[in-house]
Amino acid sequence: MSLKDKKILVGLTGGIACYKIPYLIRSLTKAGADVKVVMTEAATRFITPLTLETVSNNPVAVHMFPAEKFISTRHIDLAEWAELVVIAPATANVLAKISTGICDDLLTTIICATPRPVMIAPAMNPGMWQNPVTQRNVATLRELGYLFVGPEEGDMACEHVGMGRMSEPQKIFEAIQAFFQTSRKKKALKGKKVLVTAGPTREAIDPVRYLSNHSSGKMGYALAASAVKMGAEVTLVSGPATITPQPGVHLVSIETTKELHREVKKYFKGVDCLIMAAAPADFTVVHTKQKKIKRGKGTFELSLEPTVDILKDISKIKKTNQLIVGFALETDDAIANARRKIKEKKLDMIILNQPGPDSGFGTDTNQVTILYKNGRAVDLPVMRKTELADSILEIIAKKL
């Protein structure tokens, strides 16, 4: 893919992998991109600004306040100039700074100021990568929408072997190409209205206890974020979750299955597509106690009754130009149960997943089978829920 006239800002931080970056910049410029480079002071210890100026054919910025040079608001100019910011190599130190909003040099100030997407290629010792603080920082950045390439497993300059090696320049280059290819699809849902549900529901037993499930809401929030990025007007009806929705998402918070049903019914009439990723409780308590139930010596019986089948009810008012996408988490007879749900609930497609180490509730990844109402089934590999959301929304965009 040509990157002609694409504006890419490459940021280098202090790691031995800096020596590989001229190869990345050369690939970018050969593809037609306009590349500018920012280096931290530590990065200049591994490779010279002159080398990067030569391959990028642009001045390299290092200092926030260089001596005898007019800079004005250069950090803002660079932050707004770029269409994509790529940090390679990205050290544990810079990940920590970005995740906490620290701006103590030119590069971190640009990252804080930029309204553009930021792609990060981590590079560090395996112990540093596996450090719980680093993993927490990476999780925070992913949740905020930062893009990651790698790291990989392999030999290190310190003679250790493990996870933390920077992805090769070619792989980073391909990720940049993929980013701009995806950007072309970003308006595929422009003018469309999408309703997404997410998270669990809670059915009160007494004032301090409830029935629920392990749903984290990650899949639903990822779907809402992807739909917004593709230009849709998005309403997200969510049960209790600790995730911050993507800017631009209209969040409606609920707690019970009854409330979820009410809000879905309220918004469904005005949308083009409903994606039912929430995991509503299948049962509710017949008689909720008004006071906390005290521990007793004998057994305690709890009477339950089924909650409303939201999708089955909503399908009754579905218009021919509307799409309904369901989710199914099954532990046995998965395909048969999912096909039955498509038919009973008049779904256009259903996303089937089964609980496991890489899929199901609470995980950052998922492995699903997409089943269509015409009987077609497509197995997808394990991927991050954010990536899966993009794949699902691309399918929906084509159908709409």
The pLDDT value given to residue 367: 86
Residues 6+ apart with CB under 8 A from 359: 353, 365, 366, 367, 368, 382
The pLDDT value given to residue 165: 86
C-alpha 241/C-alpha 113 separation (Å) is: 29
Alpha helices in the chain (DSSP H): 21-30, 49-56, 74-81, 92-100, 106-113, 126-130, 132-143, 169-184, 218-229, 257-268, 310-314, 334-345, 385-399
> Cα 255 to the chain's mean position, in Å?
24
DSSP code at position 279: B
Sketch the domain layout of the chain as residue ranges: 7-184, 193-399
Phi, psi at residue 114, to the nearest 5°?
-75, 135
Choose, from 18, 103, 112, 158, the residue flagged as catalytic: 158
Among 354, 346, 356, smallest CA distance to 326 is for 346
Quick check: 209 and 289 in contact, CB under 8 A? no
Quick check: 95 and 122 in contact, CB under 8 A? yes
**What CATH code is assigned to 7-184?**
3.40.50.1950
Residue 302, both tokens: 């709890």
The pLDDT value given to residue 265: 95
C-alpha 90/C-alpha 83 separation (Å) is: 19
C-alpha 78/C-alpha 31 separation (Å) is: 21
Confidence check: pLDDT of 156 > 80: no
Strands 233-238 and 283-285: unpaired
The pLDDT value given to residue 294: 87
Instruction: Give me the amino acid identity at 107.
Output: L
The pLDDT value given to residue 239: 94
The full DSSP string for 161-220 is: EEEEEPPPHHHHHHHHHHHHHHHHTTTTTTT-EEEEEESB--EEEETTEEE-----SHHH
How big, in percent rounded to 5, are the helix, strand and coil portions of the chain? Answer: 35, 25, 40
Q: What is the pLDDT of residues 191-241, one digit of tens each?
A: 999 999 999 999 999 999 999 988 899 999 999 998 988 889 999 999 999
Quick one: residue 207, left, alpha or beta (phi over 0 = left, psi -120 to 50 = alpha)?
alpha
Average pLDDT for 12-39? 93
Rounded to whole angstroms, what are the CA distances from 356 to 220, 353, 360, 363, 392?
A: 18, 9, 6, 9, 21
Give yes or no for a cis peptide into 89 (omega within 30° of 0): yes
Confidence check: pLDDT of 154 > 90: no
The pLDDT value given to residue 384: 87
C-alpha 321/C-alpha 76 separation (Å) is: 45
Confidence check: pLDDT of 333 > 90: no
- The residue length of the chain stands at 400
Among 378, 374, 332, smallest CA distance to 351 is for 378
State the pLDDT confidence band at 75, using cuts at 50, 70 and 90: confident
C-alpha 177/C-alpha 172 separation (Å) is: 9
State the pLDDT confidence band at 10, using cuts at 50, 70 and 90: very high
Q: What is the pLDDT of residues 78-123, one digit of tens each?
A: 888 888 999 999 999 999 999 999 999 999 999 988 888 899 999 9
The pLDDT value given to residue 186: 63
State the pLDDT confidence band at 181, using cuts at 50, 70 and 90: confident
C-alpha 341/C-alpha 346 separation (Å) is: 8
Bridge partners (DSSP) of residue 60 are 37
Intra-chain end-to-end CA distance of the chain, in Å: 27
Quick check: 187 and 19 in contact, CB under 8 A? no
273 is catalytic: no
C-alpha 357/C-alpha 342 separation (Å) is: 26
Average pLDDT for 39-48? 94
Q: How many CB atoms lie within 10 A of CB 297?
A: 4
pTM of the model: 0.60
C-alpha 338/C-alpha 88 separation (Å) is: 43
Residue 25, both tokens: 């910049």
Say yes or no: do domains 7-184 and 193-399 share a fold: yes
Residues 6+ apart with CB under 8 A from 340: none
Q: What is the pLDDT of residues 269-327, one digit of tens each?
A: 999 999 999 999 999 999 998 999 888 777 888 899 999 999 999 999 999 899 999 99
Confidence check: pLDDT of 374 > 90: no
Share of the chain above pLDDT 70, in %: 95
Q: How confident is the prediction for the chain on average, in pLDDT?
A: 89
Q: Is 202 exposed, middle or buried (0-12, 13-18, 19+ CB in 10 A)?
A: buried
The CATH class given to the 193-399 domain equals alpha beta
Confidence check: pLDDT of 161 > 80: no
